[in-house]
Structure 1
Amino acid sequence: MTTIPLLGTGTFRLKDQQAFDSVLMALQQGSRHIDTAQIYANEKQVGDAIKASGIARADIFLTTKVWTDRFAHDKLIQSVHDSLALLQTDYVDLLLIHWPLRDDSVPMREYLLALKEVQDAGLAKHIGVSNFTMAQVTQAIEILGTDAIFTNQVEVHPYLQNNRLVEFCQQHNIMVTGYMPFAYGAVLTDDTIVAIAKKHQMTPAQAVLVWMRQKGYVTIPSSTKLVNIQANIASLALSLPSEDMAAIDRLDRNHRVATPDFSPDWDQ
């Protein structure tokens, strides 16, 4: 598979049996894009679910991410082999640097070139970054070239639209993957989104996912409930008119929910 499904299945905060069940349900309902990470500590469960699904590995777009304590060249290479063993696969479709470092304890050049080495060895079909600012994306392009960077995975939802960064990535042909599409549920009770969803006989979550898709973003919601997984996938058949897209666009308020103490200095 060479293209990425715009709607994926995230696994952040899912552990053990819950992670396995969520991924298996999603695959059984038609999802073909699964997103995990080393730090989630659920790569084995993701791999088990893919195996249990009976779906051909080539039909699934699988993403994982390298954690910040494994950025030194040798550690990064070994960590990918460890991830592949847990995922029970010979390759991932997309391998990301999970967060940029705030300091230069491992230079960006070292960990990005190690990432490219992994790709050149056939262990990752595509490589990219996550939580990179415009300045950091610029630096990454200087190191790898624009064409090497498949995506920048960043927080995007109606309350944090990250327009400057999004436009910057798009100008450089870097796909935007938006995580936390529901802002931990905050946008799902928004009066505008609720009204739009009601008008079109969809759920607020579906309205948000349609908005994301029609803007050309990949997004990776997670759920442990079958009914929500089914509704998420059903959103692919739904659409919103331009006036409702614009109404959601106007909800931007710089409301960021992913703010660990190691975050970069975000673009404003």
Structure 2
Amino acid sequence: METIEVQGTSVPALGLGTWQLTGPTCTETVETALELGYRHVDTAQAYGNERQVGLGIEAADVDRDDVFLVTKLDGSNRDATSVRQSTRESLNKLGTDTLDCLLIHWPNTPWMAPLEETLDAMNDLVDDGVVEHIGVSNFSPARLDRARELSDAPVLTDQVQYHPYWDQRKLLDYCRIHDVLLTAYSPLSRGGVLSDPALVTIGNRYGKSPAQVALRWLVQQEGVAAIPKASSREHLEANMAIFDFELTDDELAWIRDPSKTKTGMQFVRSQLPF
């Protein structure tokens, strides 16, 4: 597994996203992924599956210290007391004493606690040794910049939707300048990339699927990790098989510049709840 060095920390370039994975399926998927070589697992309080993720990690024949484990604060847990209490509840559900990274899931809204209060409480958890790193999710460059200003602990990552139909160049440029990891969720545009003509053509050159090309496109970019969701062993294995080929500069540019029509269609698709 390739890793990305950010702020002196090694983060596996490919992780397992667990959104919508529940019950025994979630546990089995996490266990299988770790046995296949995944070492980066992402969950969230809002997913309702932290306990199942923890059981999967426990069941796998992998040392907990070798797993980069991430969870995210729910929108209802942004005041100082809730941050501390809910994080310790997450630790209990996950069956671990420490988190590798705790994220703010979405930007704080006006009716939530101030961002500074949330970050101060997260900083306290870092000081207490129960959280190794903190980060954010779905933050624009301006919001990320503000979070970095307010936090004593470095912001390790901004986890955002990123795929060939969702341009994140401004955010990526900011992250590279400030040594922040960009973690790409929904990297396959909820299946939207699977029939993309450019990805099909490029994939045929390397004996790879469009999904594998899209994932390779992401992790080949400096400072980008990807956390695709998968539940079958076949898809987990396929997602891992992206480190034995390399895209050319022309191919990288071709993938980055899809038609505006397709980009708009995939934007709509990405917002649908099904």
User: Which whole-Å deviations, capped at 9, do the CAs of 1:32-51 have from their partners, x for residues lacking one?
Assistant: 11111111111111110111
1:98 and 1:130 in contact (8 A); partners too:
yes
Residue 259 of structure 1 and its aligned partner are, at CA, apart by 4.7
The one-letter code of the counterpart of 2:154 is A
Q: CA deviation at 1:126?
A: 0.9
CA–CA distance in 1 between the matches of 2:35 and 2:185? 22
Partners of 1:127 and 1:105 in 2: how far apart? 19
Residue 266 (structure 1) aligns with: none
**What is the Cα deviation at residue 243 of structure 1?**
1.4
2:187 alignment partner in structure 1:
181
- SS class of match (1:232): helix
Give 1:128-207 correspondences, 5 Å limit. 128-144=135-151, 148-207=154-213
Residues of 2 paired with 1:135 and 1:38: CA distance?
A: 25
For the aligned residue pairs, the C-alpha RMSD in angstroms reads 1.8
CA contact (8 A) 1:11 1:35 kept: yes
What code does the residue aligned with 2:209 have?
T
Question: Are residues 1:34 and 2:41 paired?
Answer: yes
Give the superposition deviation at 1:161: 2.1
Question: What is the CA-CA distance between 1:169 and the residue it aligns to?
Answer: 2.1
State the 1:104 CA deviation. Answer: 4.8
Aligned to 1:127: 134
* TM-score where L is the length of structure 1: 0.92
Report the Cα offset of residue 30 of structure 1. 0.7
Percent of aligned pairs with the same amino acid: 36
Give the structure 2 partner of residue 102 of structure 1.
109
Q: Distance in 2 between matches of 1:32 and 1:241?
A: 27
Q: How many residues get paired? A: 260
Amino acid at match of 1:208: A
The separation in 1 between residues aligned to 2:160 and 2:29, in whole angstroms, is 22
SS of alignment partner, residue 11 of structure 2: coil
- 2:35/2:61 contact within 8 Å kept: no
Shift of 1:142: 1.6
2:67 corresponds to 1:67: no
**What are the ranges of 5 or more consecutive residues in structure 2 without an aligned counterpart?**
1-7
The match for 1:245 is 252
Query: Hey, what's the Cα distance between the residues in 2 that align with 1:259 and 1:204?
Result: 21
Aligned-partner residue type, residue 196 of structure 1: I
Partner of 1:78: 85
Q: Which whole-Å CA distance do the structure 2 matches of 1:214 and 1:77 have between them?
A: 36
2:234 maps to 1:227: yes
Name the SS for the 2:184 alignment partner. strand
- Which SS does the other structure have where 1:154 is aligned? strand
TM-score w.r.t. structure 2 length? 0.90
Question: Aligned residue for 1:52?
Answer: 59
Match of 1:6 in 2: 13
For 2:159 and 2:45, locate their aligned partners in 1 and report how far apart those are by CA, in whole Å: 15
Match of 1:43 among 43, 50, 53: 50
Instruction: Report the CA distance between 1:258 and its aligned residue.
Output: 5.3
Are the aligned partners of 1:155 and 1:258 in contact in 2 as well (CA < 8 Å)? Answer: no
Q: Which amino acid aligns with 2:90?
A: S
Matches of 1:60 and 1:101 in 2, distance apart? 28
Q: Equivalent residue for 2:32?
A: 25
1:210 maps to which residue?
A: 216
Unpaired segments ≥5 residues, structure 1: 261-268
Amino acid at match of 1:235: I
Matched residue, 1:265: none
